[in-house]
Amino acid sequence: LFLHGLYADEKLVENLASMTAGERIKAIQKMPETMRKKREIRDKVLKEITKKSNHHSTRLPCCTQCLQGAALAFRQFGNTVSEYFTSLQFWHKSLKIIGAEFGTSVLSYFIFLKWLLAFNVFSFLINFSFITIPQFIAGEPNKLSFTGLELLTGSGYFQQTVLYYGFYTNATISKITDGASYNMQLAYIFTVGLYFVICFLILLISMAKSFCRNFINPSMYSGNASKLLCTWDFNITNEKAVKLKQKNLSTQIKEDLSEVNREVLNFSAKERLVRLAVHVASWAASLGTAVAACAGVYFLSINNLKLFVEGHKNDQESQAAMLVLPIVASLLNTLIPFFYSWLGHLEKFQTPGHQIYVTIARNIALKISIVGILCYYWLNVVAVSESECWESLIGQDIYRLVLVDFIFCLLGSFFGEFLRRIIGTTLKRGLPEFDIARNVLDLIYAQTLTWIGILFSPLLPGIQIIAFSIVFCVKKVSLVMNCQPPRKVWRTAQMTTSFIFLLFFPSFLGVLSVVGVTVWR
């Protein structure tokens, strides 16, 4: 038996070694073995591949042998690093708990947040490597004093730092005579341009994969019967992990059954007419509110520019007064979505998914309209003003908007979830549900501001990394302490696809238009 098992292992290693890298990884992942056993098999396969390459080394040139050895060492290093990073991800266990307790609808929000966090890490690394580090070499010391108010306003001391466009040199950096030089003008524009091209491709590929998985062939990935019969992982031995896995599977099966057992309600002609009137009135109220909010933001932004041009740039009162615009814009973006959620409950949709999609549509119309008004103000009013460096002024405006929006996002968790829990338990109305539509649109709005601000403030993604990390922790704690699982269980496989599509259009394509017009001018 021992020799038979040894022969089987050798045969398995030989078969895996003959596969391509992608096929080999998938085959090892599908094995019903522990992670330790899988790693041992992977290491044996890599050794077998090394032996085969050494056996044929006499036929290969020295250069090819070195390249193969380097590629193999790099692959082993990559596998080791990915294992360590997987174990260090602080959200890995959190996502499992959220999926088991609250279902895939709430889980989709946190997966989307994690995805945006990775996006900003990538952006920050590119900008810092190719733009900020060279500027540190050529930069001059900051002579302005730091008062602390700059953390809120983004002006004053920060004007003479790498945070804004106006501080970066337009010269060619060369520290060694007759040595290599670095053209900052080309580096700046090509780094930002290349980043947007990569983002465009990533969004397109992510949308295509998600659409294929959730719309074209959903049964291949959901596996209705296999979830009940073949999904259990027998390598799980920890009692807490077993209970968590049971809850997760139970929630997924309930969501699948909810689609099969969905009731189709038949309404009379009078009831249909009343429902249609309620829908029309709700849409009229939501669009009217959005138009009024945009008008208020525009007139307030004109006043904000006069304050900056006519006032003293380093005067603390004028700097603090410039917080009025981001506070009002964030206040509108925080309060009006609560009104939209109330309208959604008033309309009494048949499914929670329908209500969420309608609320998302209203929120996206509000937030993108406000961003559009601000972009018009920046490009057609600020850009032709008498300010010394209008690009830095726009960067400061976006910095304030991002910071204040982050603060209001945290306040929204307090007032929208914590206080509602207190009121609900006091009046015996139960705990509130997690508002997916409002929270998702907050993320898309914040990411849109970050994309617009990359040209004017290259380090803005670094600020957004900190903000999204804190939002993840706060939202997770607020969800567990203040919210209850959705009353109606429903499957939301298509939800993530919708989120990525909304991030691509109108958010990302709108940002490309704004940045393109800015660079062209």
The half-sphere exposure of 214 on its side-chain side, counting CA atoms within 13 A, is 16
Instruction: Evaluate whether 114 touches 170 at the Cβ level (below 8 Å).
Output: no
Assigned token pair, 377 = 């103000």
Helix (H/G/I), strand (E/B), else coil: 183 = strand
pLDDT at 88: 47
Separation CA 303–CA 138 (nearest Å): 37
Q: How far is CA 118 from CA 89, 93, 115, in A?
A: 12, 17, 5
The half-sphere exposure of 475 on its side-chain side, counting CA atoms within 13 A, is 30
pLDDT at 497: 81
Q: 484 has which bridge partners?
A: 433
Separation CA 203–CA 440 (nearest Å): 17
| Mode of pairing for the β-strands spanning 172-173 and 182-183 | antiparallel
Residue in the block written with tokens 């996002």: 409
Residue 141's φ and ψ, nearest 5 degrees, are -65, 145
If we measure between CA atoms, which residue out of 439, 445, 477, 436 comes closest to residue 464?
Answer: 445
Residue 483, burial from CB neighbour count under 10 angstroms (0-12, 13-18, 19+): buried
pLDDT at 430: 78
Instruction: Give the tens place of pLDDT for each residue, 132-157.
Output: 999 988 777 787 888 888 888 888 78
Sign of CA dihedral 221, 224, 230, 232: positive
Q: From its phi and psi, is residue 148 left (phi > 0), alpha (psi between -120 and 50) or beta?
A: left
pLDDT below 70 — which residues of the chain? 1-8, 52-90, 175-179, 216-238, 241-242, 244-245, 248, 251-265, 305-316, 319, 487-494
Helix (H/G/I), strand (E/B), else coil: 484 = strand
Instruction: Give the tens place of pLDDT for each residue, 282-337.
Output: 999 999 999 999 999 998 888 776 666 554 455 667 767 788 889 999 999 988 99
Alpha helical stretches, state H, 128-267: 133-138, 150-153, 184-211, 218-222, 224-229, 239-260
* Whether residue 506 has a cis bond before it, omega within 30° of 0: yes
DSSP string, 323-378: THHHHHHHHHHHHHHHHHHHHHHHHT-SSHHHHHHHHHHHHHHHHHHHHHHHHHHI
